[in-house]
Structures are given as C-alpha cells and as structure tokens.
Amino acid sequence: MKSKIILTPYFLDAHLPGLEVLKKWDWIINREPLPEDTVMTRMSILHAALAEAVAKISLAGDMPVSIAGDCCTTIAMLAGLRRSGINPLLIWFDAHGDFNTWDTSPSGFLGGMPLAMLVGRGEQILLEAWDVGPLAEERIILTDGRDLDPGERELVEKSLLTHLEDTRELMDITMPDQPLWIHFDTDILDPVEVPAQNYPAPGGIQQEELGKIFQYLVDTENIAAISLSSWAPVLPGAEKSKEVCLGLLEILCNVKIL
C-alpha cells in the first residue's frame, strides 16, 4: 500500500501560503477557487475536493494522507473513506478534545468541534452535506486531550469514546484487526518541541515517545488513512515545528517527506 499525500493549505477557509510551500511534485494540492461567501460554504468546497481525493486513493488500494491546517477536514476524510467502503477505527491524537458543541463551547470556535461533529453531536451541516452517517463513538480513541473546556470534558466523560489521557497506554492495547485511521494534531506534542501552535497547551508528549507509539501502530499493518492538522506556519518556531512533525509523519506513512 502506497502513501498518497493530499495537501489542503488552509485554516478553515483561510489560505496558508506557509503550508502550501511544503508541496512536492507527486502530492495532490487541494487549492480551490473560493467565492466570497460564508465560512461554511467555502469550507464545503475544499472538503468536497478532499473527500473525492481520499475516496479515489482508497479505492485504488493506496493510503490517503491528508495534511491540512485544521481538524475540520476530518469530516471530508470520513466521507472519502466511507465512499471507498471503509468504516475505520479512529485514533485521535490531540491536546484538545475537539468535542465541543455550540452549547458547550465558550468561544463558539468551529475548529474546536470536529470530533463531536464526526459522532453526530452539535453542528452537522458539513457531515450532512456529504450524506455521511456519523462514526460510532465506540470506534474512537481520544488520546491526550489534556486541555478540555468544562462542558466539553463532561461530554467526553459521558460519551462512549475511549479517552486515554496518557498516550503511552495505546501500546498496552491490542488493536483489533480492522482499518485504522490515525488523526495527528501536532499540538499533542510538548510546545517546547513544537512551539508554532495557535492554541498551545502546556505539557504534552515528547517527539521520541510519540515516534515509538506511531511505530507500534505501523507494526499492526492496519493503518488505512492518516490525517495531520499542522503547526502554525506563520508563528515563531515554525521551521523547528515542521521538522519535528513531518519527521513523525514519515514514521506513520513510511514515505520520505523532509
């Protein structure tokens, strides 16, 4: 199975030139002309192209690897996987839960809601746009999630998600023989190692430890898809952050990136 990289150089609907410069000749670049319209409409255009690319790659027997500026693109990732007949077990690496709804979010920030969206909670416009049913909560492992809003934490605790606050506990789990989708939000790492983050959370796992966990997952030979939510390319420390995160991505997808 070959890794095929799709680069969506946007944060929600805002273009990120600093992310687009990563592109290589054999990558798919999801760079769509966007109308002057609502954020949701503009995001939907990007997500439609991403879902199509993910489905095409998966149906060809290869592994889609999405690099994007935010976690909301995971909605498109699920749509594409479902079109190719894959109902994945999702392992969500993140400093945050991304499990807010409009009712629990203190800020109303859409980027803090995608995992809740994926399971059918809260905002559903993006999921409904592709006629995609939610992913069952039992099929999701949220790991780390060290920075949760109070209402969000309550939702996580009452949900059927598996929440592993210590990411190293993943290596104690025998993964089922099913397709795995790995979502890697780079802010799971200690901000000392990856300083260019829009929403840094103190603490976090070290690069070396996370690399071992990623290798453990690779050794299952069941990884079917990978999505990465990137560092902030305009912030100080972006070059160091890029090197650390892409080095870890290379472990996951077994392809030279740097």
Helices and strands of the chain, counted as H and E runs: 8, 10
Q: Which CATH superfamily is domain 3-253 in?
A: Ureohydrolase domain (3.40.800.10)
Mean pLDDT of the chain: 95
Q: Which amino acid is at 200?
A: P
Instruction: Give me the helix-helix angle, 207-218 and 238-253, nearest 10°.
Output: 20
For the chain, the domains span 3-253
User: At residue 19, does pLDDT exceed 90?
Assistant: yes
Taking CA atoms, 10 is separated from 46, 191, 194, 220, in Å, by 9, 22, 19, 32
Helices (H), 60-124: 74-83, 114-118
- pTM, rounded to two decimals: 0.97
161-198 per-position pLDDT tens digit:
999 999 999 999 989 999 999 999 999 999 999 999 99
pLDDT for res 112: 95
Mean pLDDT calculated for residue range 26-48? 94
The two beta strands, 10-11 and 14-15, are antiparallel
What gap in Å lies between CA 240 and CA 177, rounded to an integer?
36
pLDDT for res 143: 98
Main-chain dihedrals φ then ψ at residue 224, nearest 5 degrees: -110, -20
In terms of phi and psi (left: phi > 0; alpha: psi -120 to 50; beta: otherwise), the region of 107 is alpha
Check: CB of residue 72 under 8 Å from CB of residue 61.
no
pLDDT for res 63: 97
- Count of alpha carbons within 13 angstroms of residue 26, beta-carbon side: 8
The set of residues, in sequence order, having a beta carbon less than 8 Å from that of 75 and lying 6+ positions away, is 47, 114, 117, 118, 126, 127, 130, 132
The two beta strands, 162-164 and 140-147, are parallel
User: At residue 241, does pLDDT exceed 80?
Assistant: yes
pLDDT for res 155: 97
Question: Residue 85 has which token pair?
Answer: 């007949």
Taking every pair of Cα atoms in the chain, the longest distance, rounded to a whole number of angstroms, is: 49
Tokens 């397709």 found at = 179
